[in-house]
Every structure is written in structure tokens, then in C-alpha cells.
Structure 1
């Protein structure tokens, strides 16, 4: 289970750029309401592309909850690029939380599949019914301009697609061809239990 801790704020989204991309007018009375809709299309496009490529575009905090360690000494993390691990904690069945000393783990960065490594032994065991909670910061940068150009363009095309087909009730959910072509090099490929892709 991977969840955003704090969503991206509206001022970090390229709403004006999407408006220009769509060649929408300015100065009309309904611009504010229109911008609310454009923001929703941008958020939907970002969420779908992040899901497809297993990468966070704009930097923000995430919380990963696990029911067991994948390996007593190494825990792969399902999101990149990671800028840091802010906390690792064990939550017992009684909801009591034990925070691990940061000296007991380190992050092995990777553009595709970063790994949390135990230092000086194994990760502590988890009691039955408990949870592992790993808080991380992930993303290409705080500003929209920090996101790679091809991914920015993919978001813009997908958000425009949502806008242009907003009145259609039956949408297959398939990505437009241009979006697929832009994100394909960033997708994580899993072969024989391994991972590959662009970092």
C-alpha cells in the first residue's frame, strides 16, 4: 500500500501551460471554474502516468505500508526516483509504533528500483498483525520544470485528451498513442523476477 502523505499543491501544477496548450481564452468570467477543471485533468493525467511508470513526477512525501519484509536485509521500494527515506517504523497490532534508528538502514538509490538495506544485521522482525511503515520523499524535483521534458509532454497530451473527451461517457481508458510513445522508455520492465528500464 503506497499513499501520498501530502498531495501536490495547485501552484506547482502547469495549469496556465495546459490552458495555453488548449488555446483557451483568458479574461472571461468563467476562467476560475475552467481552471478548476483543468487542474483535475492534470491531476488525473499525472496519477495515471506515475502509475504506469512507477515514478513520482513532482517531489512529495509517500508512505509505504508492508505486512512483511521482502528480505530480512534488503527491502525493494516500488517508487523512484527517491530523494530520501525520512522514517522507518514498525506498527504493532496494538497500534504502538517503534521508530527504527536511522543508523540501522541506508538507501541504495536506483532510477528503477531503489532498495532499503539493513545495516549491521537484519531488519527487526515484525509481530503478527503488525505493519512496516516506510516514509519516503520521491520525485524528479519540486518544480514542474524539473520533470523530464518527455514526461511533461505526456502529461500535457493526456490532460488535453481528458479535456477534449470530457463529455464522452464511454472511455476505454487506453492511453493515446503519443502518450504511450513518450512514457514507454520510462516504464519498468520485469523479466524473470528482475527489473529494467530507464532511470
Structure 2
């Protein structure tokens, strides 16, 4: 399986002014925007870390997910959430010939944590032998910062500030994330079901 972003978050969508205020950086000077490219890089890093930890896409983007076999014949969970639309599904055989699946053959099952692709007729389209299916979809809370839930916005700003404050630090352990950020993200993390219950 392979997930690829077809689109990226535009710079103008990033909350650079909000982040500048969060850091309490000086304002009213002619060089107010001098650090904007640096702030943008920390915001992008924080967003990526939040998305990796939660499986939730912060800003709306288009993804292509390539699979080589469906997990079940009738329904396939999607790798990220929230998903707003399945744009198309393309089946490709071993020789590279591609066929677009009719949109009437499947539907999106919306779920805050585990959205899925479901067959309308009982079985998802058969993936050719040694071939693949490319599922193209829209995911994310929305195109603007205001569409993102407030606690996720706070987590991004806190984590970006952490990166900014410790930008010269080289001794922090890999994957280090402040407790306050972890607490804010906890309810967004997908639940794993084990034999004994929720893990």
C-alpha cells in the first residue's frame, strides 16, 4: 500500500500570523515578516507530526492511495481521516492498462476515525492479478485554519512553538512530544481493538 499527497497545503492557508502571536514576537516593525519562512517551516513540521500521530489530515488535500489487494471483498478502510469524498478509483493491470471504476459501484462510509470504501453491490471491484487499485480521495478538516477543530489548532501551535524554542537542541529523543500536545491529541488517535477489548 502506498499513500501519496497529490496536493500540498498552500502557504497562505498556514496560520503564520496566529503562530507569531502565540510566540509573542514583536510587531509593528518594518521587518515583522522577516521570520515568516522559518515560522512556516515549523508549522509544517508540527502539522506533519500531528497527522502522523493521529491519522487525521489537518488541511484539506487530495490523496492517491494505491492498494494491491482489498482487505475484505465488500469494504476497505481508508488510511486517513476525515475523508469528504472519493474522487475516483482506477484499476490497473500488470501491463499498465487502466480502467476507471463507475462511481455507482461504491460509496464512502464516513467515520471520524475510520472512514471506509464500501461496495454497493456486495463486492468491491476485482483488482487484476499482479495489478493495483488507485483510490483518489479528498481528506482533511477543510481548506482554512478556521475549519480545523480548536484543540487540534492548539496542539499544532504548541508543538510548532516547542520546535521553535528548541530549534538548536540536538539531545531530545526521537519522537519527543510535549505532554500538553499529547493530551490534546489523545482523543483523535484511532482506537485499536484487541482480543481483550480496546488497546
Same fold (TM over 0.5): yes
1:183 corresponds to 2:185: yes
Summarize the Cα distance change of 1:104–1:175 in structure 2 as closer, same or farther, 3 Å threshold. Answer: same
Alignment of 1:89-168 (within 5 A): 89-168=90-169
Detail structure 1 runs of 4+ shifted over 6 Å in the superposition. none
Q: Which runs of 5+ in 2 are unaligned?
A: none
Residue of structure 2 in register with 1:57 after alignment: 58
Which secondary structure state, in structure 1, belongs to the residue aligned with residue 130 of structure 2? coil
Cα distance in 2 for residues equivalent to 1:32 and 1:52: 30
Summarize the Cα distance change of 1:196–1:35 in structure 2 as closer, same or farther, 3 Å threshold. Answer: farther
Which secondary structure state, in structure 1, belongs to the residue aligned with residue 183 of structure 2? helix
Superposed CA offset, 1:2-61 (max 9, x none): 121100101101001101111112355655451111111101111111111111111111
Residue of structure 1 in register with 2:76 after alignment: 75
TM norm structure 1: 0.91
Cα distance in 2 for residues equivalent to 1:124 and 1:49: 33
Q: 1:144 deviation in Å?
A: 0.4
Superposed CA offset, 1:142-161 (max 9, x none): 11011111000000000000
Q: Are the equivalent residues in 2 in contact too, given 1:76–1:113 (CA < 8 A)?
A: yes
Summarize the Cα distance change of 1:32–1:95 in structure 2 as closer, same or farther, 3 Å threshold. Answer: farther
Deviates more, 1:127-136 or 1:8-17: 127-136
Q: Are the equivalent residues in 2 in contact too, given 1:188–1:196 (CA < 8 A)?
A: no
Superposed CA offset, 1:76-108 (max 9, x none): 112111111001111222222211000010111
TM norm structure 2: 0.91
Cα distance in 2 for residues equivalent to 1:7 and 1:63: 13
Residue of structure 1 in register with 2:86 after alignment: 85
Which secondary structure state, in structure 2, belongs to the residue aligned with residue 189 of structure 1? coil
Aligned residues: 197
Deviates more, 1:20-29 or 1:140-149: 20-29
Which secondary structure state, in structure 2, belongs to the residue aligned with residue 62 of structure 1? strand
